[in-house]
A = this chain, B = another copy of it.
Amino acid sequence: MGNHFNPYSLLARLPLFQGMSLSEFDNVIAHVKLGFSKVERGGTVVAEGEVCNGLSFVLQGELDVETVADDGGYRIVECVATPCVLQPERLFGLTQRYSRKFIAATECNLLTIDKAEIMKIVTASEVFRLNLMNILCTLTQRMQHLPWRRRPEGIRKKIAFFLSSRCLHPAGKKTLVVGMVRLAREIGESRLNVSKALHELESQGLLEMGRERIVVAALEKL
């Protein structure tokens, strides 16, 4: 790792540590076990269903996140910006397992901190505590708001809403692996109309279609 990987600059870039004073950073670095590791390109950073017994941060590299529908009927893969923390909402609560699969699209540098160590930081640092609660509350608020939004009209907007309501970020590249019949059912349109609309969007350069696969280069443009 290069010299920009000194512990201070590294932690300061992570949302959960933002706003910490130098003395708090000193305290974390001196007293908390930080686990550094690498995942090779194509490797699984975290598997779906894996127990979440700590926080995993991806410090560097490109990350793909795959989420599969409950019944296996479709899946969405999205590219996620780093540095980031993987599903902090799975550290507590009813289901302490990851619901998404995180794959290293390039070599990724990881920082993992055990749950017991996280609890130490939560206890010691008000800044960390507030950051964690802000992240959790914002996530909940965003998800709570979705059903109350005005339903989109038109197939193009319906597909965009279908994707954005299931993704971590409402912009960027998304790959949807789905059959046409299933997609039509999910958005409440006929298979024929969905097929026509998709071909039109493809001709406009807004997406690319493959076998049971739709690649949207920039969801914000759809």
Contact residues of A with B, CB < 8 Å? 67-71, 73, 89-95, 99, 119, 122-123, 126, 129-130, 132-151, 165-166, 185-186, 188
Main secondary structure of the interface of A (DSSP, over half): helix
Q: Flag if B136 contacts A136 (CB, 8 Å).
A: yes
CA of A126 to CA of B67, assembled, Å: 33
Q: A67, A119, A137, A151: which has the most chain B beta carbons within 10 Å? A: A137
The answer to whether A71 touches B136 (Cβ under 8 A) is: no
- B67 near A137 with CB under 8 A, answer no
Q: How far is the CA of A58 from the CA of B61 in the complex (A)?
A: 48
| A99-B165 in contact (CB<8A) | no
Residues of B within 8 A of A69 (CB): 148, 150
From B68, B94, B147, give the contact of A141 (CB < 8 A): B94
A73 CB to closest chain B CB (Å) equals: 7
Given contacts A70-B149, A99-B144, A165-B147, contact A133 B132 (CB under 8 A): yes
Contact of A150 among B70, B91, B123, B135 (CB under 8 A): B70
CB of B185 within 8 A of CB of A151, answer yes
What residues of chain B lie closer than 8 Å to A68, measured between beta carbons? 148
Query: Of B94, B130, B133, B140, which contacts A143 at CB under 8 A?
Result: B140
The residue in chain B whose Cβ has the minimal distance to the Cβ of A119 is B126
30 A-B pairs, CB-CB below 8 angstroms?
Answer: A67-B148, A68-B148, A70-B149, A70-B150, A73-B150, A89-B144, A90-B141, A91-B137, A92-B136, A92-B137, A92-B138, A93-B139, A94-B141, A94-B142, A99-B141, A99-B144, A99-B145, A119-B126, A123-B126, A129-B129, A132-B133, A133-B136, A136-B140, A143-B143, A143-B144, A143-B146, A146-B147, A147-B165, A147-B166, A188-B188
